[in-house]
Amino acid sequence: MNGLDFPRVGVLPSGQLDAITDVGDIRVGHCTLDEGNVHTGVTVVLPNDDPLMQKPLAASCIFNGFGKSVGLMQMAELGCLETPLALTNTFSVGAIATAQIRAAVSAHPEVGREWSTVNPLVLECNDGYLNDIQSLAVTEKHYIEACASASREFRQGSVGAGRGMSCFHLKGGIGSASRIAECGGQAFTVGALVLSNFGKAEHCLLAGRPVGHLLQERLDRIGAEAAVLAAAPEKGSIIMLLATDAPLDVLQLGRLARRAGNGLARTGSLFGHGSGDVAIAFSSSQHLPQLAESAVPLLHAPDGWMDRLFQAAAEATEQAIFKALFLRNRLAGAMAIDGPPFRKFCRNGVISYGAKNRNSSGSEYGENDAHFDFCGY
């Protein structure tokens, strides 16, 4: 493996799809906007068919709070989800939160009347470098379309909420992975999905190997704009979602969420001053019924299981970040890679400035550009 090949990280086995959808009945859907100067979208993670009626236990960890997400406060207070987890750009949080409320009211007219109000959960990263974020292009209908498209198999890379994201001054986006942990003679799965939009090229670690100098050397060949990027402070973000079928309570899910930070740090992230780094861990096996009339029995996993689950969380998160970096528009569970390039960062990891040409894979790059084909596996 040379310095910039796609890495398979960790030692634990992956699930069938090597994706968050290896856990329970989770499905993932996207709606991608990619026209003119608009490169953005919505990604949703559906934990079950109706998370308001069967509320998955959940907890979060905020590593660096430079972010505008909605719904984290009540989730921390009550320890559960009530809607799908939605990802989008910073300026679209309000539109998607409204869409989640409308969807809940449409499905359950009691919401906000006989029942309490619903807690929308929308997490964001700023894609304004590549997307005209001021256009406010994302609307409520795009959330509905993303939910309608949700399935176990889903595309990764520059798709959905990840369409305009960048990572280590290369392309970023959506990535997902899973790891299986043996605990007490049973096999449990931890799945991760990330919206990756962080990092400076010089800091990049690839499976523990410092490759930032290789990236920066090639970026330096591009010219003045790359030099500006290198000199600027790190101000990206990442959202990390973890799901597990292990019988963890809310306290244990919070501990699991914190281990996403281990996977993030392994890639070279510094949790920079201007970065919104947020993790959520939720359960596919433990729920709180909306209409419970008596005490709900919940399980607490033995402490002896936690280290192996922590390992699975760290490995799956790190792997998911590399998938977001390397993959252009890949379907989970398939090896085919497709999708067009975009403006300054090509979808397949090629940095593109200046006059456009075609490389052997059909992607565009500048005549004198350094280019890294990060999708070839």
Asked if 129 contacts 163 with a C-beta cutoff of 8 angstroms, the reply is: no
Angle of helix 306-326 relative to helix 250-266, nearest 10 degrees, comes to 50
166 is catalytic: no
Pairwise CA distance, residues 244 & 284, whole Å: 6
Whether 277 is catalytic = yes
Cα(51)–Cα(287) distance, rounded to whole angstroms? 9
Q: How far is CA 258 from the centre of its chain?
A: 15
The one-character DSSP state at 364 is: E
Closest listed residue to residue 26, CA positions, set 4, 44, 53: 44
The residues, any chain, with a CB within 8 Å of residue 315's CB and separated by 6 or more, are: 9, 10, 11, 12, 177, 179, 263
Report d(CA 172, CA 325) in Å as an integer.
Answer: 5
Q: Catalytic one among 269, 275, 283, 363? A: 275
Amino acid identity for residue 8 in this structure: R
**Tokens (6 digits) for 336:** 């085919």
Contact in structure between 179 and 196 (CB atoms under 8 Å): no
Q: Please, what is the Cα angle at 117 between 116 and 121, to 5 degrees?
A: 135
Helix residue spans in the chain (DSSP H): 72-78, 93-107, 140-148, 212-220, 224-231, 250-266, 306-326
Nearest Cα to Cα of residue 86 among 60, 58, 114, 120: 120
237 classed as catalytic: yes
Dihedral of the alpha carbons of 199, 204, 208, 210, in degrees to the nearest 10: -150
What pairing do the DSSP bridges indicate for beta strands 329-331 and 155-157? antiparallel
Q: Which residue of the set 237, 269, 284, 363 is catalytic?
A: 237
For residue 235, which amino acid is it?
A: K
Residue identified by tokens 């790359």 is 226
Which residues are known catalytic residues? 237, 275, 277
